Amino acid sequence: MRSEIQEVLISAEQIGEKCRELGTTITNEYDGKFPLLIGVLKGALPFMADLTRAIDTHVEIDFMDVSSYGNKMRSSGEVKIVKDLDASVEGRDVLIIEDIIDSGLTLSYLVNLLRHRGANSVKIVTLLDKPEGRKVDIVPDLAGFTVPDEFVVGYGLDFAERYRNLPYIGILKPEVYQGS
């Protein structure tokens, strides 16, 4: 465990187990529908890699990169598309893959955008859900773990672009981000 990590909240084994569980659920729900899975960069990358390999039906994979004008720890809800999809969502069953839902501002923007572009259905799977942070009314269709209102890192989640490569989800010691 890195010295900047105060506590491991969710172990690599727990994450692996959850990905297999969610993968089975998604397989059953989307079998024969050729869904478009949209990973939200960069945080969803490890989750997307593990989750998609646990899905046993045809899927198409695409990515979006959005940046929200906020500080390092919270999003503002003003979303800018940095990289758009390659695929058209028109008539598609879309499943957005996210690392965490906190305020919900990023996802509510994305869901509205994809509906507006004519998707047949838009659902959300998130590895982590932080319901106490919510500013808009949005509930993920599938969620791996509920986390407390603390800043977590690892398994895709960063602080100042670090810690994304940790295989577990942990809580950063407050002294690491104090003053930022």
Binding site for ligand 5GP (CB under 6 A): 43, 75, 98-107, 130, 151-153, 157-159
User: What letters, b where the CB count within 10 A reaches 16 and e where it falls short, cover 53-69?
Assistant: ebbeeebeebbbebeee
Strands of the chain, DSSP E: 5-10, 36-41, 60-68, 79-83, 93-101, 121-129, 142-146, 152-153, 169-172
Mapped onto helix, strand or coil, the DSSP state of residue 152 is strand
Q: Specify the residue, 145 or 151, whose C-beta has the smaller distance to ligand 5GP.
A: 151
Q: Specify the residue, 63 or 159, whose C-beta has the smaller distance to ligand 5GP.
A: 159
Q: How far is the CB of 179 from ligand 5GP (least distance, A)?
A: 17
153 binds, among Mg ion, ligand 5GP, none (CB under 5 to 8 A by kind): ligand 5GP
Q: Is 137 a catalytic residue?
A: no
Residues in the chain: 180
Q: How far is the CB of 94 from ligand 5GP (least distance, A)?
A: 17
Q: Which of 86, 102, 137, 141 is catalytic?
A: 102
CB 93 within 8 A of CB 120: yes
**Cα separation of 95 and 98, whole Å?**
10
Q: Specify the residue, 31 or 133, whose C-beta has the smaller distance to ligand 5GP.
A: 133
Q: How far is the CB of 29 from ligand 5GP (least distance, A)?
A: 23
Q: Specify the residue, 24 or 160, whose C-beta has the smaller distance to Mg ion.
A: 160
CB 169 within 8 A of CB 150: no
Hey, which residues are catalytic here? Answer: 102
